[in-house]
Chains A and B, each alone.
Chain A
Amino acid sequence: MATDFQSASGLKRVRGLGSARSGAHHWWLQRVTAAGNLVLLIWFVASVLMLPNLSHSGVTAWIAQPLVAVPLILLIFSTFWHARLGVQVMIEDYVHAEGLKLLAFIALNFFILAAGAVATFSVLAIAFGA
């Protein structure tokens, strides 16, 4: 009997119907990235408000500095990661059809990785003077 229960819960997990055993980790990362966002976005908003202007030359010269490019990349990682975790929870709450939910997760991951990669590469390109 014990083996039957074992395989039943195993099958449930394959079908995505049981606990994925990653809920606490997801919850914790949401908080860690929230703290990261808090610190980095206060820095970002305050820094942008202190810029003399938002012209192309002004903005690229600002981003090219190491102590701007590095926190900016950290900000991209923290915000995009936080965004992915948050939108995932929304999809889990509202989309109950398995196929559609899977497609929504894939679309979300593609969007986050694509936009995050574009943002990260752009900061590096400016910083390395491409």
Chain B
Amino acid sequence: MADSRPLSPHLSIWKWRVHMATSIFHRISGNALVFAGLTLFAWWLAAAATSKEAYASFAAVADSPIGWIVWVGLSWMFFQHLMSGIRHLIMDSGWGYALGTSKMTATWVFVGAILLTAAFWAVFFFGPGLR
């Protein structure tokens, strides 16, 4: 009975387009931010609250090669989700549904996310703070 109900989305009917890529990357980046990002965020806070030793073991993982891959990946996922999230909020207002406009904003989501990620790490390594 439940199986005969119409289901959405239609997972087998699609074609690669920058707009659909923006949509699925919003979901992928969101889940990465939840299950990797928020978990690491909670661990970081808990380690800081527990002891110097607990913080050192977090820092050892965070500063490892795998840790750095995760930070770079998460920062990109963060800016990707931020950009497509802003696009969602703008489209919620009713603007940007014309095909050309939608394609243009979707393209800017990917370009903007990469530019912001690069800018973040530039400030991280060469900015006024952090070392």
Q: Which residues of A contact B (CB under 8 A)?
A: 15, 17, 31, 34-35, 37-38, 41, 45, 48-54, 56, 59-60, 63, 79-80, 83, 86-87, 90, 93-94, 96, 98, 115-116, 118-119, 121-123, 125-126, 130
Contact = CB atoms under 8 A, between A and B. Distances in A.
Interface of B: 2-3, 5, 7-9, 11, 27, 30-31, 33-34, 38-39, 41-42, 45-46, 48-50, 52, 55-56, 59, 78, 82, 85-86, 88-89, 92, 120, 123-124, 127-131
Interface centre among B49, B82, B85, B86 (most CB of A within 10 A): B49
Contact of B89 (A17, A34, A130): A34
Contact of A115 (B8, B38, B130): B38
Interface centre among B34, B39, B56 (most CB of A within 10 A): B34
Given A79-B38, A98-B2, A119-B41, A90 B49 contact: no
A79 B45 CA distance: 15
Given A49-B124, A86-B34, A87-B31, A118 B130 contact: no
A83 B37 CA distance: 11
Contacts of A37: 85
B79 to A, nearest CB: 10
A47 B85 CA distance: 22
B46 to A, nearest CB: 5
Nearest to A108: B34
Nearest to A37: B85
A121 B50 CA distance: 11
A126 B7 contact: no
Contact of A52 (B52, B59, B89, B130): B130
A87 B64 CA distance: 29
Given A90-B27, A96-B7, A49 B33 contact: no
Q: Closest 3 CB pairs between A and B? A: A122-B49, A122-B45, A50-B129
A41 B74 CA distance: 14
Contacts of B50: 122
B48 A118 contact: no
Given A34-B89, A52-B130, A87-B30, 16 more contacts: A15-B2, A17-B2, A38-B82, A41-B78, A49-B124, A49-B129, A56-B48, A60-B49, A90-B31, A96-B3, A118-B42, A118-B45, A119-B45, A119-B46, A122-B45, A122-B46
